[in-house]
Amino acid sequence: MLLALDIGNTNIVVGVFEGHDLLHSWRLSTLRQRTADEMGIWVIQLFSHGGLDVNAVDGVVMASVVPTLTRPTLEMAKRYFGHTPLVVDGGAKTGMPVLYEAPAEVGADRIVNGVAAFERHGTVGGRPRALVVVDFGTATTFDAITSRGEYLGGVICPGVTISADALFERAARLPRVDVRKPAAVIGRTTVGSMQSGLFYGYVGLVEGIVERIKRELGSPAGCVATGGLAEMIAPETAAIEAVDRDLTLHGLRIIWDRNRG
């Protein structure tokens, strides 16, 4: 079995694979002060809940965009699972050329998503195609993958939750609201108006940016989405053709396989 860990700014996603099959996945809040022992006990409890044998794990792969949690996670994997993790960063063999002007600046999660998206969604009728990958995380990111499987670049926007928090913090008379689809675009209350702006504002943002990226790619391209709000936003726009909830975990598994040869 393979233990895959995706450490993001908002959530830590834990996945367990047997071969290519994802047996279990869990999403928990990111707490930057966790120690290696806290994380070890936490993951072992997840294994127990899922009826999995800790001793059956024969490899660990991880990607982290939270530096304060990278070392504790490495220590946890060694101490509780007896394996040194493959860390997906500039030194890992991803199989995806990065055309960024400064490749080291690209977040590991974005490369992992690109690898998984191209492997799982990058072929139609036996022919490769370009892709746009949208990740609704702490930030909303758009990544452009060429039809040759190259990471070209992308767009980084404030996430939906960040925008909602900014409205509450910077406007004295506006309340804090949950991000959800409102009953109508035209709000008849302050909360309804804010929810409409947040929800349909991001629908419009996705449609506009995806269309512009596709034009710059210059070839027919698909679009796949992942992240916490993907399943809420995707049904409202034809710009997104598929939602892949566990895209990052599958990318970690694919990169693990490539590094194992």
Active-site annotation, residues: 109
Q: What is the Cα gyration radius of the chain?
A: 19
Give the integer Cα–Cα distance in Å for 217 and 213: 6
Report the alpha-carbon distance of residue 260 to residue 64 in Å, rounded. Answer: 20
Pair 43, 260: CB distance under 8 Å: no
Please tell me the distance from the alpha carbon of residue 70 to that of residue 114, in angstroms, as a whole number.
Answer: 21
Tokens 């047997």 locate to 18
Please tell me the distance from the alpha carbon of residue 223 to that of residue 237, in angstroms, as a whole number: 11
Q: How far is CA 169 from CA 166, 175, 179, in A?
A: 5, 9, 16
Helix (H, G, I), strand (E, B) or coil at 64: strand
User: What are the E-state strand segments in 10-69?
Assistant: 11-18, 21-29, 59-64
| Number of Cβ within a 10 Å radius of residue 126 | 5
